[in-house]
Amino acid sequence: MMSAGRGFDQYSESSHYRLHGQQVLVYQVVVVVVVVVVVVVVVVVVVVVVVVVVVVVVVVVVGEVVVVVVVVVVVVIVVVKVD
């Protein structure tokens, strides 16, 4: 009777360790996903800021007609690089 009980305890402990290992794996995956999302958001924000700065500079220096062309070209380049 005692040995059967002890075997059951060992089984439950090993399954607990396995479950804990899966939880750690899930946490690692979540951390990786969060890091990737943060990096993508930062890159998008930087690109938007750069585009805004370029547009402002071009508006001040050159004029409005060129701004439309520059914005279209930059947007096309960004969309192509993202894809």
Phi/psi region, residue 10 (left: phi>0; alpha: psi -120 to 50; beta: rest), is alpha
Residue that is written with structure tokens 């990737």 in the block:
36
DSSP 62: T
Where exactly are the structural domains of the chain? 2-82
pTM: 0.47
* Distance of alpha carbon 35 from alpha carbon 50, whole angstroms: 22
* Signed CA dihedral, 60, 61, 63, 68: sign only: negative
Instruction: Provide the residue-wise pLDDT of the chain in tens; the chain has 83 residues.
Output: 444 444 454 445 555 555 566 677 888 888 999 999 999 999 988 888 887 887 777 777 776 666 677 777 888 887 777 65
